[in-house]
Structure 1
Amino acid sequence: MISSDNFLDAMQRRHACKLFDETKRISKEKLELILEYGRLSPSSFGMEPWRFLVVQSQEMKEKLRSFCWDQPQITTCSDLVLIKTVISPLAPGSKYSRDMLSRRDLPKDRIEAYFDIYDKFATAKMAGEGIFSWSSRQCYIAAANMMTGAAAMGIDSCPIEGFEKEKIESLLNMDPTKEELALIIAFGYRVNEVTKKVRLSLDKIVEYI
């Protein structure tokens, strides 16, 4: 069983690291464990829409930095993880959605019922906020688990939304009808110690009814 104190320590340690130690690299084993935390994350309908692109090439980091508001964590980090979300595979009636929903050992009529529920849900999303808005939120669940898991191992991170999405997608030859960039996370080891974490108290953010 995971200790609640250990989890709380990881939450307290995690912060948005703005500058990493360029001389330190995350081991292959620890990096793969961080990615595993993302893979095992929950997602709506179990669609697992995330795809992780790990950037280790310094040349590519430099190119990406120019589209990320020139933020230093892009090029000083050990590993840069671009979290993409699939798009067309999530369409109602798609083979992908059928495959994902059929993985459970359920009677055929139950699976068919899930197909119908999902198709109505996806159709409503496409007509309203859009598939990307919904699927990218699932990516944030994976991102949170990856960053907290990294913190538990003494590895720092920084979630990044400050980037020119279309330009990065073009740089990476991404087809936006098939996949889109949701967010970026830089992982590495901090240079500077951080100040005490500042958050609103529970009584400011929690209500009971």
Structure 2
Amino acid sequence: MNKTFEEAMDFRHACKVFDETKKISDEDMNYILEAGRKSPSSFGMEPWKFLVITNEELKAKLRPACWNQVQVTSCSHLVLVLAAIDAVKPEFGIVERKFKRRAMPQEKLDFYLGLYADHLKETLSSDENVYSWTARQTYIAAGNMMTAAGIKGIDSCPIEGYEKEKVEEILGLDTTKYQLSVVLPFGYRINEQSSQEREKLEDIVEFIN
């Protein structure tokens, strides 16, 4: 039975121990991935790719490069969230194709392409700057996927503790196209684990009227 959004938020925590005997169904995994696919992004560029790994040998190979964290091998599905590099550069044509998904006259399309290139002139000036921009956006997709998983009673654990270049090398990534942003295991907790306590709302929210 699906949880409500609020129940999913209370349920979700950074799961440290997954039950290796339990596997996520294709239906539930697609539900999680759809939440990532439909996530918002700057200019609607959707600058991400999701590698879904269930191959146990590959997971074992990746684990040492992820600070030997057990979640990498004990999870049901290991999702590597990649940040796009070349795909957000106007000269590669993908930006124009994505703008064209919304029907508009050529004059308006040219305006948006010019606005995009001008607004992001500094951002697009180097792959390092591009990665900084696109990687931040992948966290929107990752957050939505973790909440979607929580709705299905599925656990997750976002991991930044990894050796980026080693993981990319193991995967054989062309880093001019995509670079690793988040390691995101999904599975089922091996036993009931208490959710992390959060700060009180009044301590982190200030209303300005």
- Classify the TM-score, shorter chain: over 0.9
Cα deviation, residue 108, structure 1:
2.2
CA distance in 2, matches of 1:190, 1:201: 26
Corresponding residue of 1:37: 35
Corresponding residue of 1:187: 186
State the superposition RMSD in angstroms: 1.4
Corresponding residue of 1:24: 22
Classify the secondary structure of the residue corresponding to 1:200.
coil
AA in 2 matched with 1:75: T
Select the residue among 39, 52, 55 that pairs with 2:53: 55
Q: Could you state the TM-score of these two structures normalised by the residue count of structure 1? A: 0.94
CA distance in 1, matches of 2:169, 2:119: 30
Cα deviation, residue 94, structure 1:
2.9
Corresponding residue of 1:151: 150
CA contact (8 A) 1:91 1:122 kept: no
CA distance in 2, matches of 1:60, 1:143: 21
Corresponding residue of 1:206: 205
AA in 2 matched with 1:19: V
Classify the secondary structure of the residue corresponding to 1:100.
helix
Q: C-alpha deviations, 1:48-105, integer Å up to 9, x for none?
A: 1110101101100100001011101011000000011210121133301111111101
AA in 2 matched with 1:25: K
CA contact (8 A) 1:55 1:81 kept: yes
Corresponding residue of 2:131: 132
CA contact (8 A) 2:11 2:195 kept: no
CA contact (8 A) 1:50 1:84 kept: yes
Tell me whether 74-83 or 196-205 shows the greater mean CA deviation. Answer: 196-205
AA in 2 matched with 1:149: A
Q: Could you state the TM-score of these two structures normalised by the residue count of structure 2? A: 0.94
Cα deviation, residue 196, structure 1:
4.1
CA distance in 1, matches of 2:12, 2:195: 11
CA distance in 2, matches of 1:196, 1:175: 38
Tell me whether 171-180 or 123-132 shows the greater mean CA deviation. Answer: 123-132
Q: Matched residue pairs, number?
A: 205
Structure 1: state its 5+ residue gaps: none
Select the residue among 11, 16, 34 that pairs with 2:9: 11
